[in-house]
């Protein structure tokens, strides 16, 4: 970031010109992450305790949170337009969303979805370039990763799928296939990735390989989730078996099988 900004999509911290200003400890980074994730809203001290120590807080947890907030205030001192306020029963961080990579990412993705295909691709690339590693890197414990990290990773993967779909629309199948192969190996239950991979292979004249992707995806879905592939994937298989011309349309959306932990988190919210 050219200006001083806040990072959640990678190593958590306050950054300027590629250099980390702070915080220096996982605990302080967890406090900063919680406040940024709830930008402009009060985060209770109890919630911060939960984020820092999961379900095993020490007796001194509330005093420790006060200390982490005090040190975080020193990191933020001198930054214009940033206020870390005491807001009973906790704290609130007020900062322009354009200075936080997560909110810039979401803004760019939203603009891409509202734009025409020619403009959407560059906007999605710009959004994905904001990522510098796994989300919420360097925070303490596993609570933040469980409650928010998976959700953020899902947002990124969805944007990647949308960008690849646009690439395929404009005939960039061979450039897309290595990335699709890697992504599908990492997320073998995602029907969207299977659909994109099958489309790219079939358009490249590799119908047999596309059908093999379908068989492997179906085997995993049935074996691990007890479900058959969705209608879109079934229709694509039928098109390929019937030898219809290449250049099949890529639908904007397909159902995604979400991890149980992510579903549980959203139900809690």
Give pLDDT tens digits for 184-240: 999 999 999 999 999 999 999 999 999 999 999 999 999 999 999 999 999 999 999
Closest by CA to 137, choosing from 127, 145, 125, is: 145
* pLDDT value at 2 more than 80: no
The most confident of 4-13, 14-23, 240-249, by mean pLDDT: 4-13
Query: CA geometry: angle at 181 spanning 175 and 187, to 5°?
Result: 135
* pLDDT value at 258 more than 70: no
Predicted TM-score (pTM) of the model is 0.89
Q: What does the pLDDT read at residue 249?
A: 56
* pLDDT value at 250 more than 90: no
Q: How far is Cα 101 from Cα 122, in angstroms, rounded to an integer?
A: 17
> For the chain, which domains are there?
1-170 (1.10.10.10), 175-269 (1.25.40.10)
| CA atoms lying within 13 Å on the CB side of residue 60 | 3
pLDDT band at 248; cut points 50, 70, 90: low
* Helix (H) or strand (E) segment spanning residue 105: helix 101-114
Among 9-23, 28-42, 184-198, the range scoring the smallest mean pLDDT is 9-23
């Amino acid at each position: 970031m050219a200006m001083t900004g806040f990072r959640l999509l990678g190593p958590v911290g306050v950054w300027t010109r590629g250099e980390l200003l702070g915080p220096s400890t996982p605990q302080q980074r967890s406090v900063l992450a919680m406040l940024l994730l709830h930008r402009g809203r009060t985060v209770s001290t109890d919630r911060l305790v939960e984020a820092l120590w999961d379900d095993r807080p020490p007796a001194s947890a509330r005093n420790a949170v006060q200390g982490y907030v005090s040190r975080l205030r020193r990191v933020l001192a001198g930054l214009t337009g940033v206020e870390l306020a005491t807001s009973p029963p906790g704290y609130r961080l007020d900062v322009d969303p354009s200075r936080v990579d997560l909110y810039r990412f979401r803004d760019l993705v939203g603009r891409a979805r509202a734009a025409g295909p020619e403009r959407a691709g560059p906007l999605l690339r710009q959004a994905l370039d904001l990522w510098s590693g796994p989300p919420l890197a360097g925070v303490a414990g596993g609570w933040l990763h469980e409650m928010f990290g998976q959700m953020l990773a899902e947002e990124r993967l969805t944007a990647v799928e949308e960008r690849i779909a646009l690439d395929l629309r404009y005939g960039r199948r061979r450039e897309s296939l290595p990335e699709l192969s890697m992504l599908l190996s990492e997320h073998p239950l995602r029907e969207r990735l299977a659909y994109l991979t099958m489309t790219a292979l079939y358009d490249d004249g590799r119908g047999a390989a596309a059908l093999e992707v379908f068989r492997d995806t179906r085997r995993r879905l049935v074996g691990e989730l007890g479900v058959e592939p969705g209608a879109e994937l079934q229709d694509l298989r039928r098109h390929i078996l019937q030898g219809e011309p290449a250049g099949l349309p890529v639908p904007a959306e397909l159902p995604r099988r979400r991890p149980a932990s992510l579903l549980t988190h959203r139900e809690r919210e």
